[in-house]
């Protein structure tokens, strides 16, 4: 897999019974197929937990919900200690360029989720913004730490 602009991690990776490469997801507590997007997702989860202090217990991967009556999913949602979504994350494969449409999707989904922070990453480039109370989003210079 490609080198990312995230701290290196020691993942459990193996071949499954069908000869596909899988990676152990600590949050979902199971092996999942290792795709380029999953590689980014697993690194981001570890970064948010180990480097930014988000509790693993408040982390949900591939959370499903409905937007405009259609089932959709968020790659990662981090919750605060009260159970409110604090960060929604969209992961793309490293070769995918992060375009404005990624943030438009996050902002649309955030009308349902109502997270304070939105993060988009392809593992090489990361963009994080904060949803302001009075409306609109402000891009941040770095991913915030979990607030105790």
* pLDDT, tens digit, 9 for 90 and up, residues 124-135: 999 999 988 777
How high is the pLDDT of residue 126?
A: 95
End-to-end CA distance of the chain: 34
Cβ–Cβ contacts within 10 Å for residue 94, how many?
18
For the entire predicted model, the pTM comes to: 0.91
Domains and CATH numbers, the chain: 13-140 (3.90.1570.30)
pLDDT digits (tens, 9 = 90+) for 62-106: 988 988 899 999 999 999 999 999 999 999 999 999 998 898 889
Cβ–Cβ contacts within 10 Å for residue 76, how many?
22
Is residue 20 very low, low, confident or very high in pLDDT (cuts 50, 70, 90)?
very high
Is the per-residue pLDDT at 148 higher than 70? no
């Amino acid at each position: 897999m490609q080198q990312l602009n995230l701290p290196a991690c020691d993942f459990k990776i193996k071949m499954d019974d069908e000869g596909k490469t899988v990676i152990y997801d600590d949050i979902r507590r199971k092996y999942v197929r290792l795709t380029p997007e999953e590689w980014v997702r697993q690194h981001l989860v570890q970064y948010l937990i180990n480097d930014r202090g988000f509790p693993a217990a408040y982390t949900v991967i591939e959370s499903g919900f409905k937007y405009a009556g259609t089932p959709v999913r968020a790659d990662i949602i981090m919750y605060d200690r009260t159970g409110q979504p604090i960060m929604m994350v969209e992961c793309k494969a490293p070769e995918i360029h992060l375009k404005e449409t990624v943030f438009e999707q996050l902002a649309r989904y955030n009308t349902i989720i109502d997270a304070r922070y939105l993060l988009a990453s392809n593992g090489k480039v990361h963009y994080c913004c904060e949803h302001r109370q009075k409306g609109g989003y402000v891009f941040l210079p770095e991913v915030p730490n979990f607030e105790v």
